[in-house]
Structure 1
Amino acid sequence: MTFTPVRADGPLAVSTRNPRYFTPASGSGAGRAVYLTGSHIWNNLHDGMGPGPDGPDEPEQMDYRAYLRFLIERGHNFIRLWRWEQVRSQAAGGNYHLNMTPQPWMRTGPGTAKDGKPRFDLQRLDEAFFQRLRDRVAAAGEVGIYVGVMLFDGWALHLSPPPDHIEGHPFHAGNNVNGISANSINDLQVLPLGPRVQALQEAYVRKVVDTLHDLPNLLWEVANESSGDGKVTDEFAAFLGMDKAPTWGDSTEWQYWVIDTVKRHEAACGYDMHPIGMTMQFPVADQTKVNDALLGSRAEWISPGYDDEIFTNGRHPMAPGSPASRWFADPPIADGAKVVISDTDHYAPGQGDALWAWKSFLRGHHPILMDFGLIAGLEPAGESTADSGVPPFESYEPARWAMGDTRRYAERIGLIDMSPRRDSASTGYVLANPGSEYLVLDPDGENGAFTVDLLDGAYQVEWFDITNRETTVCEALDVKSASTVEFSSPFPPGPAVLYLSRA
């Protein structure tokens, strides 16, 4: 199966016909739905990720062109481009280092930072960083891939292993020559900020916008998993390597300030406006309301986090033996309040399968995969060792191919006029434009027939086997009057998709 790149011919805007999706704001594609899906990993912008807590003197590099080929081969069209702010940090339980370079500021010294290299001058922006940023977004656009550019990262500032979560940051006292001394995430992402810190952040944001504003395949993201208004349990803090649970502030108003800063700068400069997103905060005081701050923002798109009642009081779906969040197992229907880019990073990190991709798509979301299988590289490397904390590359292949398959259908059907309808089929998973098109998921295929409510008309019938990725066309169906029609998959037991289109 091959995909023809659909190059962006203008910036995206939220569709007024179907606000679950973007549409090109202008150009020949205006009016069509743009569906986004793809794999992402921490080092797709910076160099310096690899096994072990420390890392070599020369930072490891991702082959970005190979990464694009990997995405294209699987039919993906979206990158979450990671911003990692530390020059020394760890992840994956400390089994991997993320000593990320380049950074937005020049390393001039005098003196050395924690990574042994010259300290930063935060008043001098480093053109090499911004040129790399532009080159990567532009290269993705050339092959039909949209890019969500992450401006800041919150997770590594408070949830990566101490002390490098803050001591590895350029704004920590030992790492810059400007007298900036950030001691926690509160000094960088909780208002009110120190005036000098806020001015430096604003100068950086404006420079990013100036660098990328003319690229049509662009979306913004404020930050990844910055702190909310909650506190982790002592047990969770111990898992992070902390003696006791710290007190972190609420980044909500700071994130709103970043959103407004981007929008004001685009407007003041006469730039095209690009959609900006706000993603899950952690921790929050009430996990069932984790998405309220996102929905109340001026962001056009959001990536929600787990909000299940069963995960209150410090419980979470990543704990051993925990059930899956509803966002993974049975996603809620997207109501169009915001475009939803549904990212496993925020409710099921380390997980991902074909059914998750199809369920998310048929509930009106845009599924993207936090692809831990890429931590060790872009190709199969055999089974990971049990103590690496990294799943093998192959374990994510069903999810990767399924994301591409959902995109293939998204670009075939009249998605702009279709809506998720839980009650239109007995399986609960339907995208429908009643009387015109129906796309129905049978998640297990082991319970025999299922039913679909159809309007009268003649329909072409197509089946897709999710596991084997095979398609078969069956005899056309003539529905004489609106009725409930029974269907059975022609494939062996297993998940399948039924596509009905008006003949």
Structure 2
Amino acid sequence: MVSAGSSAPLRTHPANPRYFCDSTGKPVYLTGSHTWSNLQEYDSDSPFNYEAYLDFLKKYNHNFTRMWMWECGTGGEWLHGWSEDKLLVNPLPYRRTLSRRFNLKELDEDYFERLRNRIIAAGRHGIYVSIMLFQGWDVESKGRRINPFTQHPFNKNNNINGIDGDPQGSGEGRLIHTLKIPEITSLQKTYVRKVIDTVNDLDNVLYEISNESHNESVEWQYHMINFIHEYEKTMPKQHPVGMTIPWTPESPGRNEDLFRSPAEWVSPNSIANNGYNYRYDPPPADSRKVVLLDTDHLWGIGGDPAWVWKAFARGYNPLFMDPYDSGYTAGGPTGLKLKDVGKIDPRWDPVRRAMGHTRILADKLNLAELIPHPELTQTGYCLANPKAEYVIYIPREYPLTIWVNLSKAKGNFRVEWFNSSTGETAGDGMVAGGETRVFSAPFEEDSVLILRSI
């Protein structure tokens, strides 16, 4: 299954809360790709090949994916932002009646059975899964031409239960992701309980409340995090719960809302303090939360291998929102249509490989004792236990020869090099600690220097 020797869900590492750990206490570094149709189908004529997707993740040595959910049943431009294809999303959590409207008192077992089976299959591939519970892009237009709320189960025209997610007549369902309509909050809790009941016995589960809901959703998200915590207290297993950054075109969200939340893990936007930026120069991770640094909330689709390594060397767990099958970015940068499903977009292979390479390295390190120490090296990208182990990333904009401050290191250290582009390794002898030393990379590409005490 997921982690050799582990028989429990992840929990925050007690000594280094930048990471999770398994039941043995071993730190677990999470990294991987995620894509939009890995749970629900967009097009029944071209179903998503989930087993091939899991093989794809394993091929790149990824151990995490974010399982996307969509609250609405149909759409096109609202789902992709650029597609004219009409997409039919299926299954949904709620059962449809013969009139095609939803009965919000009946949950659709097909949805929950599929969810469970896909998480079990991911576990067999050694992959942890974050279950997205709600979708912020489905309750409002967020500046797009088509408003998905017209197809939402909580639109009064789409259910037989008299539930109105827009009592003010605004044309959007923003109130659905607040606590202002108690009947809806109650229905949401029933759904969340069903998700938990469905997967509680599985160890490779994490939860995410919602993808990029609006800023007014913050208290609702806190409420749902606490609800999951309280409900899982009554059950055999407790799983980490995450909160990702709220977003609307007019407001990028506040990262501090994440860090003061009751969540175990968070995903911020690009805005950081003290001159840092999570896109190009992430700040050293502090110990307030496990941070899954996700390109989704930084670029949308974006990032490069240097970003992956910078994130790793600053104490983060990097994730990539992956176009994966180019057919699902219909009409976008690839110019492909849904008929082109099956053609994996190769432009992002360097990012995919970089995440896998960081995991190869992470598995060889004592992550429990490594924290960001930008002051110890010329590049500023350094994880270290100054007495025992150093990992330094050298971006290509730096010279191949750099200094490292080993003044706190006693004794001798073995010198190793790692080619961050190819995964190639090279040994380079031994060095004594006690003062600042100079090292020259053997690779022309971005390199990683590893120093371990002997």
TM-score, normalisation: structure 2: 0.90
Alpha carbons of 1:6 and 1:330: their partners in 2 closer, same or farther (altered >3 Å)? farther
Alpha carbons of 1:188 and 1:375: their partners in 2 closer, same or farther (altered >3 Å)? farther
1:220-270 CA distance string (max 9 Å, x none)? 100000001xxxxxxxxxxxxxxxxxxxxx011111111111111111x23
Alpha carbons of 1:33 and 1:186: their partners in 2 closer, same or farther (altered >3 Å)? same
Conserved 8 A contact 2:200-2:235: no
**1:47-58 maps to which residues of 2 (within 5 A)?**
47-48=41-42, 58=44
Deviation at 1:6, TM superposition (A): 4.3
**Could you tell me which residue of structure 1 aligns to residue 204 of structure 2?**
217
Deviation at 1:73, TM superposition (A): 0.6
**1:449-488 maps to which residues of 2 (within 5 A)?**
449-454=401-406, 455-479=409-433, 482-488=434-440
**Could you tell me which residue of structure 1 aligns to residue 335 of structure 2?**
385
Alpha carbons of 1:377 and 1:169: their partners in 2 closer, same or farther (altered >3 Å)? closer
1:430 pairs with 2:428: no
Q: Counterparts of 1:16 and 1:280 in 2: how far apart (Å)?
A: 25
1:104 pairs with 2:93: yes
Deviation at 1:187, TM superposition (A): 2.8
Alpha carbons of 1:468 and 1:270: their partners in 2 closer, same or farther (altered >3 Å)? closer
SS at match of 1:226: coil
Amino acid at match of 2:383: L
Q: Counterparts of 1:155 and 1:73 in 2: how far apart (Å)?
A: 31
SS at match of 2:38: coil
Amino acid at match of 2:286: D
1:173-217 CA distance string (max 9 Å, x none)? 232222223232323112212x32122111101000111111011
> What is the aligned counterpart of 2:392 among 433, 440, 447?
440
More deviation, 152-161/364-373: 152-161
Conserved 8 A contact 1:445-1:496: no
Deviation at 1:47, TM superposition (A): 0.3
SS at match of 1:67: helix
More deviation, 276-285/406-415: 276-285
SS at match of 1:65: helix
Q: Counterparts of 2:133 and 2:125 in 1: how far apart (Å)?
A: 23
1:60 pairs with 2:54: no
**Could you tell me which residue of structure 2 aligns to residue 340 of structure 1?**
291
Amino acid at match of 2:244: T
Q: Counterparts of 1:283 and 1:79 in 2: how far apart (Å)?
A: 24
TM-score, normalisation: structure 1: 0.82
Q: Counterparts of 1:291 and 1:463 in 2: how far apart (Å)?
A: 35
**Could you tell me which residue of structure 2 aligns to residue 130 of structure 1?**
112
> What is the aligned counterpart of 2:353 among 401, 417, 424?
401
Conserved 8 A contact 2:133-2:210: yes
Q: Counterparts of 1:376 and 1:60 in 2: how far apart (Å)?
A: 10
Conserved 8 A contact 2:179-2:185: no
Alpha carbons of 1:344 and 1:98: their partners in 2 closer, same or farther (altered >3 Å)? farther
> What is the aligned counterpart of 1:80 among 41, 57, 66?
66
Conserved 8 A contact 1:373-1:395: no
SS at match of 2:139: helix
Q: Counterparts of 1:475 and 1:332 in 2: how far apart (Å)?
A: 32
**Could you tell me which residue of structure 2 aligns to residue 357 of structure 1?**
308
**Could you tell me which residue of structure 1 aligns to residue 364 of structure 2?**
412
**1:366-381 maps to which residues of 2 (within 5 A)?**
366-376=317-327
**Could you tell me which residue of structure 1 aligns to residue 158 of structure 2?**
175
1:191 pairs with 2:156: no
SS at match of 1:441: strand
Alpha carbons of 1:310 and 1:441: their partners in 2 closer, same or farther (altered >3 Å)? closer
In the alignment, structure 2 segments of 5+ residues that lack a partner are 167-171
Q: Counterparts of 2:189 and 2:61 in 1: how far apart (Å)?
A: 36
Alpha carbons of 1:71 and 1:385: their partners in 2 closer, same or farther (altered >3 Å)? same
Conserved 8 A contact 2:207-2:239: yes
Query: What RMSD over aligned residues (CA atoms) do the two structures have, in Å?
Result: 2.6
% same residue: 39
Deviation at 1:374, TM superposition (A): 3.3
SS at match of 2:442: coil
Give the 4+ runs in structure 1 shifted more than 6 A.
Answer: none
**Could you tell me which residue of structure 2 aligns to residue 227 of structure 1?**
214
1:205 pairs with 2:221: no
Deviation at 1:168, TM superposition (A): 1.6
Q: Counterparts of 1:433 and 1:376 in 2: how far apart (Å)?
A: 45
Q: Counterparts of 1:476 and 1:310 in 2: how far apart (Å)?
A: 36
Conserved 8 A contact 1:439-1:497: yes
Amino acid at match of 1:258: M
Conserved 8 A contact 1:6-1:144: no
**Could you tell me which residue of structure 1 aligns to residue 75 of structure 2?**
89
Alpha carbons of 1:6 and 1:326: their partners in 2 closer, same or farther (altered >3 Å)? farther
Q: Counterparts of 2:192 and 2:286 in 1: how far apart (Å)?
A: 31
> What is the aligned counterpart of 2:221 among 255, 274, 292?
255
Q: Counterparts of 2:361 and 2:246 in 1: how far apart (Å)?
A: 32
Alpha carbons of 1:160 and 1:411: their partners in 2 closer, same or farther (altered >3 Å)? farther
Alpha carbons of 1:108 and 1:286: their partners in 2 closer, same or farther (altered >3 Å)? closer
1:292 pairs with 2:230: no
Amino acid at match of 2:325: L
Conserved 8 A contact 1:384-1:392: no
SS at match of 1:36: coil
Q: Counterparts of 2:245 and 2:128 in 1: how far apart (Å)?
A: 21
SS at match of 1:372: coil
SS at match of 1:297: coil
Q: Counterparts of 2:223 and 2:46 in 1: how far apart (Å)?
A: 34
Conserved 8 A contact 2:327-2:336: no
Q: Counterparts of 1:105 and 1:7 in 2: how far apart (Å)?
A: 37
Q: Counterparts of 1:219 and 1:425 in 2: how far apart (Å)?
A: 35
Deviation at 1:93, TM superposition (A): 2.5
> What is the aligned counterpart of 1:148 among 121, 127, 130?
130
Deviation at 1:271, TM superposition (A): 3.0
Alpha carbons of 1:144 and 1:122: their partners in 2 closer, same or farther (altered >3 Å)? same
Amino acid at match of 2:82: G
Alpha carbons of 1:386 and 1:122: their partners in 2 closer, same or farther (altered >3 Å)? closer
**Could you tell me which residue of structure 2 aligns to residue 14 of structure 1?**
12
Deviation at 1:7, TM superposition (A): 7.1
Q: Counterparts of 1:300 and 1:172 in 2: how far apart (Å)?
A: 32
Alpha carbons of 1:387 and 1:123: their partners in 2 closer, same or farther (altered >3 Å)? closer
